[in-house]
Amino acid sequence: MITKVLSGDVAIKEGATLIKSGEVVAFPTETVYGLGGNALAPNSIAKIYQAKGRPSDNPLIVHVSCVEDIYPLVREFSDVNRMLADTFMPGALTLLFPRSEQVPIEVTAGLDTVGIRIPSCAIARKFIAACGVPIAAPSANASTRVSPTTAAHVLEDMDGRIPLIIDGGESEVGIESTVLDLTCDIPTILRPGAITAEMLAGVLGEVKTHKGEVISSAPSPGMKYKHYATTVPMVIAANMQSLLAEYDRAKSQGLDVAALIRSQDACMMDGRKYIELGKTDMEVCKNIYSIMRDAEKSTQHIVCIHLGDEGICRSVMNRLNKSAGGKIV
């Protein structure tokens, strides 16, 4: 199969036609690129799992272009959902609802809940609206790989596997949406993302973050899989001192090393090779996946600075800890 990369209205038109004929299409969102298919058609869902090489017990998020399009997909839309939708939709928040009969179990991997999100990216919403059906979409990377934030990243993983990538430039946010479970007693973040616990607590009062230690009973099935893996080993350094020590240790073993650091710390590198993640937390978040994909191509060992546990950095660290398999020096 030839994978086309198109942009603009032509891309949206061709993408919608492909979706209506049961195909899968990669499209941009503000978080990361998604690999979309008709959420109401089990055959399209099967194609998504196949193209990604994704285990079929890991459910997909359903994307719609407006709040009204959520109603037919859910059995209940509570006042709390209304409040969250008013504040964070469109945006990088995925809400779990009790699923209605309309949602095939292939989408939810047999679960009774369905995750739904309205992207804020205008191209994404235009594409979904043109399709005329809800769009099930995981991140458009090959399973276990780093999520894509450009059309070029998607092409790296999906060339020859899907007919079309809609190119909408670089994703603004850079990491995936926050997945929030409201079907339990206390609202629980199953996957931290761009909408932080602090932002949600501002609306909900109390919010828990699922720690995800208990792998066998992970409530968000995606949490138990290897994720965001670079093709070369990566470790997290607790501070700049240990980053420099790890760099020198790997270097003395003859490895070509890349240090991923905040721009402000470049002055401490003293002739060592480094990649600047950015100055602000938002910049770091936007750049992180792209830089990981670059670093794995040009080096044999990656050491990345710990970004801290506040706000969006906590969400970025959730991904980086998985990439590093929990390895901190």
Nearer to ligand TXA, 111 or 257 (CB): 111
Distance, CA of 153 to CA of 147 (rounded, Å): 8
| Strand, coil or helix: 61 | strand
With CA atoms as reference, report the closest residue to 136 among 13, 21, 27, 220. Answer: 27
Instruction: State the DSSP code for 302.
Output: E
Confirm or reject binding of residue 113 to ligand TXA (CB under 6 A).
yes
| Least gap, CB of 76 to ligand TXA (angstroms) | 14
Residue 180, token pair as written in the block: 């929030």
Q: Of 212-251, which residues contact ligand TXA (CB under 6 A)? A: 220-222
Instruction: State the DSSP code for 72.
Output: G
Residue nearest to ligand TXA (CB): 222
Confirm or reject binding of residue 150 to ligand TXA (CB under 6 A).
no
| Strand, coil or helix: 23 | coil
Nearer to ligand TXA, 125 or 191 (CB): 191
Nearer to Mg ion, 113 or 141 (CB): 141
From the list ligand TXA, Mg ion, none, pick the one residue 143 interacts with, judged by a Cβ distance below 5 to 8 Å according to partner type: none
| Sole binder of ligand TXA in the list 139, 143, 230, 290 (CB under 6 A) | 139
| Least gap, CB of 99 to ligand TXA (angstroms) | 8
| Least gap, CB of 181 to ligand TXA (angstroms) | 7
Q: What is the dihedral of CA 9, 11, 14, 18, to 10 degrees?
A: -130
Count of Cβ atoms closer than 10 Å to residue 216 Cβ: 5
Confirm or reject binding of residue 176 to ligand TXA (CB under 6 A).
yes
| Sole binder of ligand TXA in the list 41, 190, 235, 316 (CB under 6 A) | 190
Instruction: State the DSSP code for 169.
Output: -
**What phi and psi, each to the nearest 5 degrees, are found at residue 192?**
-70, 150
**What phi and psi, each to the nearest 5 degrees, are found at residue 215?**
-65, -40
| Least gap, CB of 252 to ligand TXA (angstroms) | 38
Nearer to ligand TXA, 114 or 123 (CB): 114
- Residues 6 or more apart whose CB falls under 8 angstroms from that of 190 comprise 96, 179, 180, 181, 210, 219, 220, 223
| Sole binder of ligand TXA in the list 44, 81, 94, 299 (CB under 6 A) | 94
Nearer to ligand TXA, 115 or 192 (CB): 115
301-305/257-261 β-pairing: parallel
At which residue do the structure tokens 């093709």 appear?
231
Confirm or reject binding of residue 34 to ligand TXA (CB under 6 A).
yes
From the list ligand TXA, Mg ion, none, pick the one residue 275 interacts with, judged by a Cβ distance below 5 to 8 Å according to partner type: none
Asked if 265 and 305 count as a contact pair (C-beta separation under 8 A), the reply is yes
| Strand, coil or helix: 305 | strand
Q: Of 128-147, which residues contact Mg ion (CB under 5 A)? A: 139
Nearer to Mg ion, 274 or 289 (CB): 289
Asked if 27 and 173 count as a contact pair (C-beta separation under 8 A), the reply is no
Distance, CA of 107 to CA of 181 (rounded, Å): 17
Give the range of 28-36, 156-164, 201-209, 281-289 binding ligand TXA by CB under 6 A: 28-36
Q: Which residues bind ligand TXA (CB under 6 A)?
A: 29, 31-32, 34, 58-61, 94, 96, 108, 111, 113-115, 117, 137-139, 176-177, 179, 190-191, 220-222
Q: Which residues bind Mg ion (CB under 5 A)?
A: 139
